[in-house]
Amino acid sequence: MAGEGSGSVLGGVPGAPPGRPGADPGRRFRMLADLVSDGEVVVLSGAGLSTESGIPDYRGETGRVRRAEPMTYQAFTGSAAARRRYWARSHLGWRHIARAAPNAGHRAVAELQRRGLVAGVITQNVDGLHQAAGARDVIELHGGLDRVRCLSCGERTPRELLDRRLHAANPGWDARAEAVNPDGDAVLADDRVDSFRVVDCLGCGGLLKPDVIFFGENVPRARVQECYALTERAGLLLVLGSSLTVMSGYRFVRRAAEHAVPVVIVNRGPTRGDADALLRFDAPLGPALTALLSELDPEP
């Protein structure tokens, strides 16, 4: 077991409630390592896990909340101008997402799964970095930006294909993004949006939409039920890089609490689920998870 070096990475939480370990970071860190070593860990990850890959989060140090109004499903399907605005911004943002590489946090989750300690990964992220790091059977709660779906015929196609088609449809379009949000939505001047040309489904001519959940849409019920079932069977729900502000992720913390499944949260800054957590660490995810791997007993 590592000593205070690891404990200092996942430092104590100021003002920890009475009865919860808070004064001794090393002891709290060893408690986390013991919980993880028991296995059956379900990881619930959010945008904070990808900030070290260069993708800003929504509300943390790199996010400063959103810089652009989120696209709603109703606006996207009801307005050609809204679709043009979305695809112009997303066309630029996708380049940033596609270049991102998994960081130490993603690799640590994949390694814990390889060791048989992680029973499932639920991610609120749409960047595909868990899979790129080697994690298997990841449940993408909000879908993935690497796919595009036709709203008429339902066909799913790779995002790379759409990217090539949009390049061909917009020769000489040289707009630059002012910023990129975690969902790949770039901040772009209005005058660059107006000249952008959108393409439709090659098969049926229907509207194309990224295979992600927009505001105003519901996560498919079967997907939610699968996540509930994983959570209820878990030995530990390990929340990584999520403020749990929206119910979409917070509901699994509540379900864990209802089924007496311990919850541990590692995040920069407070979260909505802190009151439900057995342990909460305010720490950068990559160094924290790397330290956790070092704290665990070596493989036989």
Give catalytic residue positions: 142
Please indicate if the annotation marks 113 as binding a ligand.
no
268 annotated ligand binder = yes
206 is known to lie in a ligand binding site: no
- Residue 60, marked binder: yes
What is the C-alpha separation between 209 and 238, in angstroms, rounded? 31
- Annotated binding residue at 146? no
Residue 3 DSSP class: -
- 241 annotated to bind ligand: yes
The answer to the question of whether 271 is labelled as a binding residue is no
Whether 207 has a binding-site annotation, put simply, is no
**Is 37 known to sit in a ligand binding site?**
no
Would the annotation count 123 as a binding residue? no
Residue 267 annotated as lining a ligand binding site? yes
Residue list, annotated binding site: 46-66, 124-127, 150, 153, 201, 204, 241-243, 267-269, 285
Residue list, annotated binding site for NAD(+): 46-66, 124-127, 241-243, 267-269, 285
Residue list, annotated binding site for Zn(2+): 150, 153, 201, 204
